[in-house]
Amino acid sequence: MSKVELESFLKSFILFFTSISILITTIYYIAYTKEIQKLDDEVFNEMRICSFDLKCNKYSIDFVLTKDKELYKLYKNDKQLSVYFPIPNATQNSIELSYSVSRYNFDVSKIKTDSLVSLAIVLLIVFILSILFSLYTLYPLRNALRLTEEFVKDILHDFNTPLSTLRLNSSMLEKEFGESTKITRIKKSVQTILNLQTNLRAYLDRSVLKKEELDLGKLLQERVELMQMSYEQIQFTNRVLDVNIFTNRDAFIRIIDNLLSNAAKYNSSNGSVELFMQDTNEILCIKDSGKGIKEPSKVFDRFYKEQDRGIGIGLHIVKKLSNELGINITLKSSVNEGSMFFLKLNSE
């Protein structure tokens, strides 16, 4: 069961089980209070019958002054339950019938135990039904995810033919005309697409991202040089040196490429992009002199965008990959002043 499926299952289960459990518990509590009232009525009625002939061993009998006691009313205290009944031709005295509170509590405890056992059985049944209900509601989601994954895998498979053609023709061009900036750019772009394909396959297969120790300065320089070829009007500067990190290479490259690409695309004319470290080489900063962001808190939301270009998923992917790699990513941005992304890395 995938993370999305597990989350959907748990939410459905908790919602169904909690709501039904609260309803059933409330019903049982009302029934319990009615049973207690029924017990009190039984005690009172038995005392009333006993007051006519005084032939009862269950209750204690005494003759007392009536005083302020109300007749035919059940009194409860810490020692006993009492009811006062009138004595024919007597105005100041009455009959007091009492019931030991310990015996009364025993009867109450029995009612409570029976109710709790019954409630536990019903909740167990509801628990099982909640699981079955959640699995049933999960089926359409699992089916949709399966169809989507199969579709994406088919598309990835179809990528192989044009990518292979591009790699073959770029190699043939290189043999025919020798090395050139344009051919190198094509080969690196094809390799980037292949890396994206590998990452997507790994994500679909639910594989764990394998981490390794990387030379951050060298890796960033490679990405900066590649990006510089595509955005010649932007000045890229990498100031990161002698920093090693422990992370997944392909996923981290996707993060950096997305951030650098955005910094270049939405930069000002002849703008700049700088990469440097802060806080004793723990935080990587990517600073641009671009247009800035109006709503920095929304940039990682899926499909959010402030420009006509793009579809608004690049930074969402960056955030998702950062979470998987344990990288805390934040940003500061002001309109017409540029943006700065901060990546707190797992440095070695």
Amino acid letter, 180: S
* Non-local CB neighbours of 328 within 8 Å, separated by 6+ positions: 322, 343, 344
d(CA 281, CA 259): 19
Last residue of a domain, one of 77, 106, 138: 138
Co-location of 15 and 133 in the same domain: yes
Q: CB neighbours of 201 closer than 8 A, spacing ≥ 6?
A: 153, 156
Instruction: Work out the percent of the chain whose per-residue pLDDT is above 70.
Output: 91
The verdict on 7 and 134 lying in the same domain is yes
298-314: average pLDDT: 71
pLDDT at 59: 86
Q: Flag whether 288 is in a domain.
A: yes
End-to-end Cα, the chain, rounded Å: 34
Contacts of 103-109 spanning 24+ positions with Cβ under 8 A: 104/39, 104/43, 107/39, 108/36, 108/39
Domains held by the chain: number = 2
The residue with greater pLDDT, 151 or 36, is: 36
Residue 164 lies in a domain: no
CB count, 10 Å around CB of 149? 14
Q: Of 112, 138, 164, which one is at a domain's C-terminal end? A: 138
Tokens for 250? 């392909």
26 in a structural domain: yes
**pTM (2 d.p.):** 0.51
Q: Are residues 133 and 216 in the same domain?
A: no
Backbone angles phi, psi at 312, to 5 degrees: 85, 30
Residue 137 CB-half CA count within 13 A: 15
Q: Is residue 144 part of a domain?
A: no
Question: What is the model's pLDDT at position 275?
Answer: 93
In this structure, are 240 and 335 located in the same domain? yes
Q: Which residues constitute the domain of residue 276? A: 211-344
User: In this predicted model, what pLDDT tens digit does every residue of 6-58 receive, in sequence order?
Assistant: 777 888 888 899 999 999 999 999 999 999 999 989 888 888 888 887 888 88
Residue 206 lies in a domain: no
Which range among 7-21, 152-166, 328-342 shows the weakest confidence by mean pLDDT?
152-166
Which one, of 283, 287, 210, 213, lies nearest residue 251 by Cα? Answer: 210
**Higher local confidence (pLDDT), 95 or 144:** 95
* Whether residue 128 is found in the same domain as residue 224: no
Q: Name the pLDDT band for 207 (thresholds 50, 70, 90).
A: low
For residue 309, name the pLDDT band (cuts at 50, 70, 90).
Answer: low
Q: Say if residue 66's pLDDT is above 80.
A: no
Residues 134 and 219 in one domain: no
Planar angle of CA 127, 132, 134, nearest 5 degrees:
90
Confidence band, pLDDT 50/70/90 cuts, at residue 308 = low
- Residue 204 CA to residue 317 CA, distance in Å, equals 14
Helices 101-177 and 181-204 meet at what angle, rounded to 10?
160
Q: Say whether both 116 and 220 belong to one domain.
A: no
Do 122 and 224 lie in a common domain? no
Same domain, 133 and 217: no
Mean pLDDT for 323-337 is: 87
**Is the confidence at residue 262, as pLDDT, over 80?**
yes
Domain-located, residue 191:
no
Using 50, 70 and 90 to split pLDDT, how confident is the model at 86? confident
132 and 219, same structural domain? no
* Amino acid 205: pLDDT: 60
CATH number at residue 329: 3.30.565.10
- Model confidence at 249: pLDDT above 70: yes
- 148 lies in some domain: no
